Amino acid sequence: MFKREVLRYQHGSLTIERRKRGPRVWVYRWRERGPEGAQVRRKITVGSTDQFRTKTAAQREVDGLRLEVNAEVPVVKMRTLTMRELVAHYEEIELAPERSRKSPSTRKVYAYFLKRYIVPQWGECSLREIRPVVVERWLESLPHAPSTRAKIRNLMSALFQHAIRQEWTENNPIRAVRVSAKRLEEPEVLTPVEVRLLLDELPEPCRTMALLAALTGLRVSEILGLQWQDVDLENGIVRSRRGVVNQEISDLKTAGSRRPLPIPPVVVDALSRWREQTSFSQPENWVFASPQTEGKQPYWPGVLLKRHVQPAAEQAGITKRVCWHTFRRSFATLLYANENDVKTAQELMRHSTPVVTLGVYAQAVTDAKRKAQERLAGMIMQAGQPEPAVPA
């Protein structure tokens, strides 16, 4: 895309062009030889008329480029490459399914942000025109949450890092862009009583899914990615090997996510009962296979959430906004509140590094994990139950 074989001894032409937004720009045009020997017309944006107020000033900028054109060397430099061209190359290399190490959901989000925000605003700008302060003000003007602005900023930084790896620039101006990712609101966390009330209102398989999420901290993508061959009911262990996002199988989020995870007896019992109920109980079947797809795919989490989980929360009198990730947040919060050591909590949450859980480096044993889960299971399953009468 960026390798060019050029004709020798060209002067080219330098003209001014208008743009839909922003100042007019100087454009340099020349010719190069195509793959079959035919001449191909090329052009690059040298800079704006604000940068080069006279043709003489713009011509000086082109002098070095003209030498490159006539010396038959690649001419892709920071001053010539536009953000639109960089995005196209980034998508081709970093977001192609057969090349990318990113999950399908991540590729989808990146592609949306590139198309929705970055290309419309910066597509026609050369990389040298993009300045930290200007980007910072633009991000501040977007009517979105700080986390969304931070994601756009990080993606722009990734684009410049891609350009650096390709040796198209030596600088990443986005590193100097300051954007806060502070939450506008604290995420909702369920109490043990609320978890128990919600479980009492849920039908199957939502109840077993919610119980599994609340007592293991598994992500919903990991729960949906479970097959019966991943569940060892006899020894009370699950082994996550894959995730399912938007009905596409993806790799797990972290290396730690592949570690065997103990499940407390109450979850073993729930999974055993569900396996007896479901029509898809073979080792290769999804644990939560959807009947609508004849078991070929697991349930859609969003459908279960809207049709069952959120109505059940309302029926139980829970005013908090409940989503699948609420169970994982609640799991972590209740583990800490239940006085479990940080390392045990970190391993149960399967964070990639101890930094996420206060940087504790000691290795937690499986017995400690089981006791932590069983204490939490006891809190939830006994919540809201009348206390036994005291003998007179």
Q: How much is the pLDDT for 363? A: 38
Say if residue 245 is in the same domain as residue 362.
yes
Number of structural domains (the chain) is 3
- List 33's β-bridge partners, or say none: 39
Cβ(192)–Cβ(383) below 8 Å: yes
Say if residue 210 is in the same domain as residue 152.
no
Closest CA to 329 of 214, 211, 208, 209: 214
pLDDT digits (tens, 9 = 90+) for 20-57: 877 888 888 877 766 566 777 778 787 888 888 888 87
Q: What is the pTM of this model?
A: 0.63
53 burial type by CB count under 10 A (0-12 exposed, 13-18 middle, 19+ buried): exposed
Say if residue 272 is in the same domain as residue 235.
yes
Say if residue 171 is in the same domain as residue 23.
no
Q: How much is the pLDDT for 37? A: 64
Whether 185 maps to a domain, the answer reads no
Say if residue 377 is in the same domain as residue 295.
yes
Distance separating the N- and C-terminal Cα atoms of the chain = 88
Whether 1 maps to a domain, the answer reads no
Whether 255 maps to a domain, the answer reads yes
Whether 2 maps to a domain, the answer reads no
Domain that holds residue 39: 13-70
Q: What residues contact residue 317 under an 8 Å CB cut-off, 6+ apart?
A: 197
pLDDT digits (tens, 9 = 90+) for 69-93: 555 444 444 446 889 989 998 998 8
Q: How much is the pLDDT for 360? A: 32
Say if residue 66 is in the same domain as residue 90.
no
Cβ(373)–Cβ(216) below 8 Å: yes
Say if residue 356 is in the same domain as residue 378.
yes
What DSSP string describes 138-164? Answer: HHHHSSS-HHHHHHHHHHHHHHHHHHH
Say if residue 317 is in the same domain as residue 255.
yes
Cβ(192)–Cβ(243) below 8 Å: no
Say if residue 377 is in the same domain as residue 240.
yes
Angle at the Cα of 302 from the Cα atoms of 298 and 303, rounded to 5 degrees: 75
